[in-house]
Structure 1
Amino acid sequence: MTARTIAVVTAGLSQPSSTRLLAERLAEATRAALAVDEVGVEVIELRDLAIDVTNTMLTGFPSPRLREVIDTVTRADALIAVTPVFTASYSGLFKSFFDVLDNDALDGKPVLLGATGGTERHSLVLDFALRPLFAYLRATPVATGVYAASSDWGSVSATGALQQRVERAAGELAALVSAAPEAKPEDEFTSVPFEQLLAGN
């Protein structure tokens, strides 16, 4: 099999952030679960694109840098999307980025959903905020979402339980990617001479 590509969108606001840490764990576990010759992983930090995203919402025209990021997400074989939880939902920056995508950009794309927060009581954000968003975008989220509270990073046993969830979700994403047909390069197409088209009428 040829290379597969995974786009990783992380909306953490601090550096370092637990959101980025969770995103990296999910990406590494997915890379390990994919039985392919090569896996390309592109990590996108939305905090670095906040001004570009805002300007695009105001003007409707993405900057060259944001257009490149949008193309990366659109062309990837799979997406890992991780957000911090604010006021019981995804962050505004996270939502704004997906608002500026074309309506069909994620159509049928396998997606692994992740979120981070201070306490376990925010874990329902996966099912009551993130899944409806990606269902609207017609993406294909895997069954297992991964939520990491502050306590998940605090002890060996908690970290081990988190890693089990990470590996389960990554395995589900890898299975979807492996089952999907490989993307055809945009410049690879079959040209039919005009005379042949006329002869067929």
Structure 2
Amino acid sequence: MKLTVVSAGLSSPSSTRLLADRLTAATLGNVDAEVEVIELRDLATEIAGHFVTGFPPARLAAALDAVAAADGLIAVTPVFAASYSGLFKSFFDVIDKDALTGTPVLLGATGGTARHSLVTEHALRPLFTYLRALVLPTAVYAASEDWGEDGLSHRITRAGAELARFMTPAVRTTAAVHAPDLDTAAAIAPRSPAGAITSTLPADGFRVVPFEQRLAALRAE
């Protein structure tokens, strides 16, 4: 399997790349995959040229192919003006509209303050939903004060485990079939004609509760 990581950090070293690396390590702790990291700051000129010419230079074409061929994608951006960076958006603007259909995507973002923590939900998630990717339920935002905190480590570990699970061939095949109708990975959980999915995710996957049992529990409350 192949895991592609896209980092839109502009500095070196970069907290965005650090978050991308930690998410990658958490994923690889649960699945065996070949990793390719794409640093968008190295492709900025090529991305701009593609907008003008309509043809990607060799390095950019290779990066686009790596994203399209991925069994799983980690995409991390710094926050600019309360949203993703222009470089990050420009890269995904030049990707073929069908390249990410059914691909499980783990979202990450970094910023200087916790006030922008919802950027993954109001900016990143709609972008990848539009591209018909399988956007995982857990996204990770890291503010400056989060580094070294247990809360961030816990979110990274949980997100990596989710991505690893949805990279497995059987789950990804199901996702690819249903991706146009999905908002989150939870939407492809196993269902039965008389079943309902609970919001609790046990360690071994989704738990199906018969509708009659759930209705009886609601009436008893």
TM-score, normalised with respect to structure 1: 0.83
Deviation at 1:5, TM superposition (A): 0.8
Residue of structure 1 aligned with 2:60, choices 43, 63, 66: 66
- Trace 1:4-153 onto structure 2 (pairs within 5 A): 4-34=1-31, 38-153=32-147
Q: Which amino acid aligns with 1:22?
A: L
Deviation at 1:152, TM superposition (A): 1.1
What corresponds to 2:172 in structure 1? Answer: 180
What corresponds to 2:212 in structure 1? Answer: none
Deviation at 1:180, TM superposition (A): 2.3
What corresponds to 1:162 in structure 2? Answer: 152
RMSD over aligned Cα atoms: 0.8
Quote the sequence identity (%). Answer: 61
Q: Which amino acid aligns with 2:132?
A: R
Ranked by relative contact order (alpha carbons within 8 Å, sequence separation 6 or more), the top structure is 1
| 1: CA distance, partners of 2:124 / 2:82 | 11
| CA distances 1:168-192 after superposition (whole Å, capped 9, x unpaired) | 11111111111225xxxxxxxxxxx
What corresponds to 2:187 in structure 1? Answer: none
Q: Where does the alignment leave 5 or more consecutive residues of structure 2 unmatched?
A: 174-221
Q: Which amino acid aligns with 2:56?
A: P
Q: Where does the alignment leave 5 or more consecutive residues of structure 1 unmatched?
A: 182-201
What corresponds to 1:190 in structure 2? Answer: none
| CA distances 1:8-35 after superposition (whole Å, capped 9, x unpaired) | 000000000000000000001001011x
| 2: CA distance, partners of 1:46 / 1:10 | 6
Deviation at 1:81, TM superposition (A): 0.1
| CA distances 1:44-66 after superposition (whole Å, capped 9, x unpaired) | 00000000000001111000111
Q: 2:43·2:60 contact (CA, 8 Å) conserved in 1?
A: yes
1:171 paired to 2:171: no
SS at match of 2:23: helix
SS at match of 2:56: coil
| 1: CA distance, partners of 2:10 / 2:59 | 19
Q: How many corresponding residue pairs?
A: 171
Q: 2:50·2:57 contact (CA, 8 Å) conserved in 1?
A: yes
Q: 2:112·2:143 contact (CA, 8 Å) conserved in 1?
A: yes
Q: Which amino acid aligns with 2:14?
A: S
SS at match of 1:143: coil
TM-score, normalised with respect to structure 2: 0.76
| CA distances 1:96-154 after superposition (whole Å, capped 9, x unpaired) | 0000001101011000000000000001100000000001000011000000000012x
Q: 2:102·2:172 contact (CA, 8 Å) conserved in 1?
A: no
